[in-house]
Amino acid sequence: MCNFTLIEDDFSIKILYNNYKIIFTKRAAGNFSFQQMYFSSKITSEARYNFSKKYEISPFHIYNPILEHDNKYHIAEKPLDIEYYNPQSQIGNADAILILNKNLYGMITFADCIPLALINLKKAACASIHLGSRSIVKDAISSFVKEWMTNFDLYPDSWIAIIGPSIFYQDYEIKSDFISFIEQKNIELLKFNYLIDQKYFFDNRAALIYQLNKIGINNIIKLDFNTYSDKRFSSYRKDKPNHITQALFVSFS
């Protein structure tokens, strides 16, 4: 990771590059999603509060959506008037936050899905993106990048992509309904299905890299940490219903 600084502590993995900051929380930081009903809102609020206090992030500067596995996004342009540890702080349904002003944070949560950070080399902009298997099949990343190019002159070749911890294909078994979904929505991704011991598995990460390359994002950094097997992280498939949802924070100063 040339020119990048990676810092790990008990609660997170942080990547610094120029004025960009990318933080992936770990299991020990607690649960960050108010939609994870196993944990009370109070417990989630405390985890969020403690994290922003520890890392000196203003709770008014964090945009966090309700994830829906699709291609909607919100833009972070100014501080909010409510702290992100308040359950009412969620800004609506979306799977990406595009950050256009400094010291604001885009936050998404993950437990097996891919947390993706984008940082721009030519303009002051970054993004925090949640990509589940269905949103990958729908090619949500292409929708985001093309729209941001059209609306904000953020061209694909100016992005660096950082792929965070997620489940690896050998632990992501799929059934016939998901194979049918791929056939209907994006048949070329069938090549990322693997048959092993009479079971089918889907390689989310390889499919995403293929899509990033296809739209012109070739500068890609991978954190090859498998949420299913790496004890630092919680996995939806392994730990449900009491899985912990980690968070990705992305910002620039």
| Residue whose token pair is 């996004």 | 73
Task: Look at residue 88 in the predicted model and tell me its pLDDT.
Answer: 95
pLDDT, tens digit, 9 for 90 and up, residues 211-243: 999 999 999 999 999 999 999 999 999 999 999
Mean pLDDT of the region 125-154: 97
pLDDT of 1 > 70? The answer is no
pLDDT band (50, 70, 90) for residue 2: low
The CATH class that applies to domain 5-168+220-252 reads: alpha beta
What pTM value is reported for the model?
Answer: 0.96
Task: Look at residue 236 in the predicted model and tell me its pLDDT.
Answer: 97
Mean pLDDT of the region 139-147: 98
Task: Look at residue 195 in the predicted model and tell me its pLDDT.
Answer: 94
Q: Which of 248, 197, 253, 213 is nearest to 227 (CA)?
A: 248
SS3 42: helix
Per-position DSSP letters for 148-216, written without gaps between them:
HHHHH---GGGEEEEE--B--GGG-EE-HHHHHHHHHH-GGGGGGEEEETTEEEE-HHHHHHHHHHHTT
- What sign does the CA torsion over 10, 11, 14, 20 have? negative
Domain locations in the chain?
5-168+220-252
pLDDT band (50, 70, 90) for residue 3: confident
pLDDT, tens digit, 9 for 90 and up, residues 76-122: 999 999 999 999 999 999 999 999 999 999 999 999 999 999 999 99
